[in-house]
Amino acid sequence: MIKSDLGGIFDPKSVAVVGVSGKGPGPQFGGAHFLDALLSCGFKGNIYPVNPKGGKVLGLKVYPSLMDISEPVDYVVCCIAAPQVPQLVKDCAAKGVKAVQIYTGGFSENGTEEGKRLEREIAALASQNGIRVIGPNCVGIYCPRTGLAFLPDSPNDTGPVAIISQSGGNSFHLVREGAKRGIRFSKVISYGNACDVNESDLLELLANDEDTKVIGAYVEGVKDGRRFVRVLGEVAKAKPVIVLKGGIGEAGARAVASHTGALVGAEEVWDGLLRQLGVIRAYSIEELVDLAVTFSCLPTVSGKRVGIVGGGGGSSVLSTDDCTSAGLTVPRFPVAIQDKLKGYMEKGNTGVILSNPVDLSDQGWGVFDDCIRTILDYDGIDLVILQCAAGPIPSSEVLKSLGALFVDSIIKIRQESTKPVVIVVHSLISDVSWWVAAETERRCGEVGIPFYHSLSNAAKAIARFFDYHERRSQRNL
């Protein structure tokens, strides 16, 4: 049978969650958590919990079986034991279900012949009946536009970033950490063992998805190497694609085999492949988030010339090293700019370095606005990195007050300038410094100002962002 349109799985009119505990969400993730996520994120269709015991959960009637639901069901979340899944797929076929997301584990990833047999059986049953399967061994779909979700604390508003991930846990991390940094998502798909819907299917779909401008991917292995290379190359021509490859080295490959049962390739092969296709490679989950923030929030920059403001003398030296190591340039400001900055500094009786980086230690933040505007107006730089050490100030109230003023100024200045501004907050050594950093992160995220936890991370992400756009512009000449 011809497989049904994959795009339709993101727009179900009704969802059944099979395997829901009557006690609601508990300490272990399961059916009730999916139910809670759908309710919390405002799923726009009908929701049907299923458990043989019936009853009620989270205010909804619980049906003894899928077949006891009289209304149509488009999408099923499966949270029952692996041996019961083939019968559920048969029930889905009888019910006219379009897609099944199988959270259940215990299939090919456990390496047993029985697990592999069960996975082949459900894949065959689904294919014969035109049902799309996401998983098994996955957390499925987060699509804020329709309210599909696997986490109850997911943002309800949509954005330009899509994520595909073989790992459910990494999907959680990317959504939560990305949301804190201001990323909003079009679609996030955890696809697990990929017995039906695989990485190539999802990349093809996202390439043509008007809601998606940036694609991130956590990949452990691929089902069809030739197709994957072809699809990835086509997608990378249309949109930025950021790939984190899991399972590097022998030990990592063993972990992949026991996690999703995927086939992996050599590190050198992946590295060369991604470079050749124009794909941006991330080397950690944190770097994937940094790059997603950069590609979704940073306007296209005209060059690599960076103005750095903030920090002490030693921090200024290290920040210069971080930028130059990443491939950015930190040009020395001309005497006219330094004299202008010096004039501001004399009013605040501070100032250690004025040549770039600019050290605004102690009371220098009192002339912060004037300094930043002067640097942004200078034609010799293309963007400004602002770094703030939140830890050294001992007074909680002073730190909170300065933090609020700092963000207010940044937002106002960024709105008035045509050049990008990014924020780095570091040296978090107290509860209040963590609070100030989190509040700065939240407010920057709301207005689309890129925020980073270290200058080194910021420099690497910005340099790769610039290199990507420079390569694209050269190809289009």
Query: Are 375 and 358 found together in one domain?
Result: yes
Same domain, 284 and 310: no
- For residues 471-476, give the mean pLDDT: 78
Residue whose structure tokens are 């570091």: 426
Mark whether 353 and 439 lie in a shared domain: yes
Of 241, 263, 297, the domain-final residue: 297
Average pLDDT, the chain: 87
- For the residues 59-65, what does the mean pLDDT come to? 95
Flag whether 257 is in a domain: yes
Residues 148 and 142 sit within 8 Å (Cβ to Cβ): yes
CA–CA dist 345, 353 (Å, integer): 10
Residues 349, 241: one domain? no
Q: Is residue 145 part of a domain?
A: no
Query: Span 88-92, mean pLDDT?
Result: 98
Place of tokens 């609070």: 435
- Whether the per-residue pLDDT at 2 is higher than 90: the answer is no
Strands (E), 132-252: 132-134, 140-142, 161-165, 185-190, 214-219, 241-245
Residue 170 CB neighbours (<10 A): 18
Token pair in block for residue 186:
């079009």
Q: How confident is the model at residue 10 (pLDDT cuts 50, 70, 90)?
A: very high
The one-letter code for the residue type at 257 is A
Domain that holds residue 449: 306-475
- Asked if the structure places residue 147 within a domain, the reply is no
**Mean pLDDT, residues 133-147:** 97
Please, which residues bridge with residue 187 across strands?
A: 162
Confirm whether 151 is domain-assigned.
no
Q: Say whether both 316 and 264 belong to one domain.
A: no
Q: Are residues 141 and 9 in contact, defined by beta-carbon separation less than 8 angstroms?
A: yes
CATH number of 184's domain: 3.40.50.261
**In a domain? residue 11:** yes
Question: How do residues 399-444 score in pLDDT, each as one tens digit?
Answer: 565 567 778 888 888 888 889 999 998 766 677 777 778 888 888 8
Cα–Cα distance list, 466 to 242, 279, 281, 304, 472 (Å)? 14, 13, 14, 7, 10
Pairing, β 185-190 against β 140-142: antiparallel
pLDDT digit string (tens) for 375-390? 999 999 999 998 876 6
How far lies 144's CA from each of 103, 291, 303, 406, 439, in Å?
A: 19, 21, 35, 32, 24
157-166 as b/e, with b when 16 or more CB fall inside 10 Å? eebbbbbbbb
Give the pLDDT score at 255. 43
Instruction: Give the confidence band of 27 by pLDDT, cuts at 50, 70, 90.
Output: low
Q: In this predicted model, which residue has the larger pLDDT, 473 or 55?
A: 55
Same domain, 228 and 351: no
- pLDDT bracket for residue 221 (50, 70, 90): confident
Question: Contact, 382 vs 419, CB < 8 A?
Answer: yes
Percent of the chain with pLDDT over 90: 65
Cα–Cα distances in angstroms (integers) from residue 46 to residues 14, 39, 60, 61, in the given order: 5, 10, 10, 11
Tell the residue number behind the tokens 């009730």, with chain if given: 32
Please indicate, yes or no, whether residues 118 and 36 belong to a single structural domain of this protein: yes
Residues 320 and 280 placed together within one structural domain of the fold: no
Residue 87 lies in a domain: yes
Mean pLDDT of all residues in 259-274: 66
pLDDT the model gives residue 74 = 97
| Amino acid, res. 291 | L
Model confidence at 83, pLDDT cuts 50, 70, 90, reads very high
For residues 161 and 273, membership in a common domain is answered with yes
Q: Which two tokens stand for residue 449?
A: 């100002």
Provide mean pLDDT across the span 80-106: 96
Return the higher-pLDDT residue of 1 and 65: 65
Q: Is 135's pLDDT higher than 50? A: yes
Residue 353: pLDDT band with limits 50, 70, 90: confident
Angle at CA of residue 132, ends 128 and 135, nearest 5°: 115
**Domain C-terminal end among 103, 134, 165:** 134
pLDDT digits (tens, 9 = 90+) for 291-302: 999 999 998 888
Residues 50/66, Cβ–Cβ less than 8 Å: yes
Q: How far apart are CA 32 and CA 51, in angstroms?
A: 11
Q: How many domains does the chain have?
A: 3
Strand, coil or helix: 216: strand
Return the SS3 of 25.
coil
pLDDT at 266 over 70: no
28 lies in a domain?
A: yes
Helix spans in 239-299 (H): 249-259, 267-277, 285-297
Task: Label residue 394 by pLDDT band (50, 70, 90).
Answer: low
* In-domain check, residue 348: yes
CATH, residue 58: 3.40.50.720
Mean pLDDT of 228-253: 83
Residues 101, 187, single domain; the answer is no
Categorize the per-residue pLDDT at 253 as very low, low, confident or very high, splitting at 50, 70 and 90.
very low
CB 30 within 8 A of CB 89: no
Indicate whether 338 and 374 sit together in one domain: yes
Is residue 321 domain-shared with residue 290, that is, in the same domain?
Answer: no
d(CA 162, CA 141): 11
